Structure 1
Amino acid sequence: MGGPSTVAETHDFLKNLFLDGDLIPLPFQRFLAPVIARRRTPQIEEQYAAIGGGSPILQYTQLQGEGMAKLLDELHPETAPHKAYVAFRYAQPLTEATARQLKEDGVQRAVAFTQYPQYSCSTTGSSLNELYRRGKAGEMGNIKWSVIDRWGTHPGFIEAVAQNIEAALAKFPPESRSDAVLLFSAHSLPMSVVNRGDPYILEVSASVAAVMQRLGYANPYRLVWQSQVGPSAWMGPQTSDALKGLARLGKNRVVLVPIAFTSDHIETLYELDLEYGKEAKELGMEVYRAESLNDSPVFIRALADIAAEHLRCTGSGQSPASVQLGLRCPGCTNATCGHSKEWFARGG
């Protein structure tokens, strides 16, 4: 999704977000989205001011990409040199700007590498649809494409998350450490998206199961959901409600784990740290958050391993897109999804 690097960019970020029918389907979207964005901007600007004046997601995404490309030169020299480009969905650099840069640089071979570990039509699907629209319009030149569309159970990703959980658990006294509840928190989805067959819930659950297996199931745990927007039904329980419920049950030691985010941004720095942290303190709870992956060398190595394996497979004649990417949700009514999947399956 990206995030505004400065407070002043907040309105444009929100407007782009609410204009995206893949993420938030709205009636009369072209007219309603700017209105909603204007109404929400003051509150969200305050939140970005509270976390330092903007989102660090671009900084970390660039750091991760550059580190991955450097390792990739060693892991897969046949396609070196490698260069990482950032294409955000709602903040600069937008896909439109990155498309122009790819064309100016004369890129002929590119991998669309989603930075959402778990696939959703609302996130990775929306980003690929936008890339398809730019490619179909000829804005990127003649590029041969392939796609890394999901990697939520990759051993390197799981190891990086597990190490950060272990570091958070180490803050509790040894005698009470095993009693701490691990709350894996992921961005929620509207139930209308879940019920049409979106795979996100299943894939996040698979990530959680893999992390707990790596940790030896040494702590009680639950998967919870955050960032609900609007009055419609969303996947629950909400993270805030789960904290209140645990306090009521006498479970006062918790580690919050951002399982679907790979770098710090407003949903970790404000929602998890400030908002839920304040609630937990008022409830008399001792809560620590597992660090985001950010500049973790284990995570950056995982990105390079994923990309290298992908390049080896596509180089040996395998399809440029996975079997899973080719399957539309059973309840899908978005024609662009079908066109996008066919386009990537052909290599662009």
Structure 2
Amino acid sequence: MTGVPAGFDALLFLSFGGPDRPEDVRPFLENVTRGRGVPPERLDEVVQHYLHFGGVSPLNRLNREMIAGLRDELDRRGRSALPIYFGNRNWHPMVADTLAEMVADGHRRILVFPTSAWGGYSGCRQYHEDIANALAGVGAQVSLTIRKLPQFAHEPAFRAAVADAVRQGLERFADGGAAPRLVFTAHSIPESADRSAGPADAGGGLYSRQVTDASAAVAALVGAEGFDVVWQSRSGPPQVPWLEPDICDHLRVLSESGVSRVVVCPIGFVSDHLEVVWDLDSEAADVASELGMEYVRVPTVGTDPHFVRMIADLVERYCDGGGDVTALGCGDNGMSCRKDCCVPVRRR
């Protein structure tokens, strides 16, 4: 078969997962929040968010659109015989089932692209655990090498894709009126989880630093004079401190300071899945409307050509046996890049 790389013979596109039917919503959310101390009333609230949109997450569809774009890009590069499989952490197609399918199809050296740019437990190390658990399900009857590709928050093509989206939003205000305030958002996490994000000898805070650094780089690319980094989608008990400010609270602060226009960029997400659509297009948009603010939420990178090419670049960098195997996030067979990196916070 032409186009098959010598080093790795398949790619696993690994994502978070989402329900495809209303009856799947509660089981899916229970998978996501298991062991995390999320109050039942918060779970009930999020169930209603999904039901508001028919009980279907757009995430699986959006991932398949990204996979289709990546397939076209790899074909263009002569990698037509490198198959792409799709698996999820929290809902079907589950990664364990997908890996079993890949092994049955004869694949033994597999690259994994996870749809998270960032360090931290949920954004990186947990994907290693997903791989390890799936590998345990396959058993020891075959010898496999499953290499997770590294974090990509620093990749110029990722930042260029975000900048493309931000420019679209800024153009909406190209009327000579007041300049909009640029606001970047990412998923909030407990402050304790952020302190444990990254190698233990690096002082923690890798996740929030990566988000802030990427936001600053994008702001520079689009020529923004100022920007803010805020957070969204917290789900833990109220007594546990999470990264702040929340996007809705921040919009109120901006309004009080005289800001009348905002461009909101969900830099922390690669797809317009339900948390983006609900938290930004519903809750935050409603707050902005109440405040009389002009509000534009820009697209996630998704199928932006810069982003698709970045994924293909990562694949090509590693698939023939090259690439930096010491890069943050890179690891084989469920082993994290550093023994003490992004360890989960012990829950009380």
- 1:6 & 1:131 partners in 2: Cα distance? 26
The alignment of Structure 1 onto Structure 2 pairs a total of residues equal to 315
Tell me if 1:327 matches 2:338.
yes
Cα distance change, pair 331–184 in 1 and its aligned pair in 2 (3 A): closer
Matches within 5 A, 1:14-53: 14-19=29-34, 21=35, 24=36, 26=37, 36=39, 39-53=41-55
- The structure 2 residue matched to 1:3, chosen from 13, 18, 21, is 18
Instruction: Report deviation, 1:103.
Output: 2.0
Task: Tell me the residue number matched to 1:228.
Answer: 234
The TM-score, its normalising length taken from structure 2, stands at 0.82
Task: Tell me the residue number matched to 1:169.
Answer: 170
Letter in 2 for 1:225: W
Give secondary structure in 2 for the equivalent of 1:2: coil
Q: Is the 8 A contact 2:96 2:133 kept in 1?
A: no
What fraction of aligned residue pairs are identical, expressed as a percent? 27
Task: Tell me the residue number matched to 2:9.
Answer: none
Letter in 2 for 1:152: A
Greater fraction of residues in helix: 1
Task: Tell me the residue number matched to 1:105.
Answer: 105
Cα distance change, pair 146–207 in 1 and its aligned pair in 2 (3 A): same
Instruction: Report deviation, 1:224.
Output: 0.4
Tell me if 1:258 matches 2:252.
no
Cα distance change, pair 6–311 in 1 and its aligned pair in 2 (3 A): same
Give secondary structure in 1 for the equivalent of 2:81: coil
Task: Tell me the residue number matched to 1:345.
Answer: none
Report the RMSD for the aligned CA atoms in angstroms: 2.4
Tell me if 1:293 matches 2:293.
no
Cα distance change, pair 278–334 in 1 and its aligned pair in 2 (3 A): closer
Give secondary structure in 2 for the equivalent of 1:4: coil
Give secondary structure in 2 for the equivalent of 1:292: coil
Give secondary structure in 1 for the equivalent of 2:122: helix
Tell me if 1:195 matches 2:199.
no
Q: Is the 8 A contact 1:168 1:255 kept in 2?
A: yes
Where do 4+ consecutive residues of structure 1 move more than 6 Å?
none
Consecutive unaligned residues in structure 2, runs of 5 or more: 1-15, 197-203, 331-336
Instruction: Report deviation, 1:167.
Output: 0.8
Tell me if 1:240 matches 2:240.
no
Task: Tell me the residue number matched to 1:69.
Answer: 71
- 1:83 & 1:64 partners in 2: Cα distance? 14
Letter in 2 for 1:96: A
Give secondary structure in 1 for the equivalent of 2:84: coil
- 1:248 & 1:300 partners in 2: Cα distance? 40
Give secondary structure in 1 for the equivalent of 2:177: helix
- The structure 2 residue matched to 1:283, chosen from 264, 283, 291, is 291
1 or 2 for the larger relative contact order (CA 8 Å, sep ≥6)? 2
Deviation sequence 1:211-240 (CA, Å, 0-9, x none)? 122113x24211101111221100111111
Task: Tell me the residue number matched to 2:146.
Answer: 145
Instruction: Report deviation, 1:139.
Output: 4.5
- 1:11 & 1:252 partners in 2: Cα distance? 39
Give secondary structure in 2 for the equivalent of 1:176: coil
Tell me if 1:156 matches 2:157.
yes
Q: Is the 8 A contact 2:19 2:57 kept in 1?
A: yes
- 1:305 & 1:226 partners in 2: Cα distance? 30
Task: Tell me the residue number matched to 1:342.
Answer: none
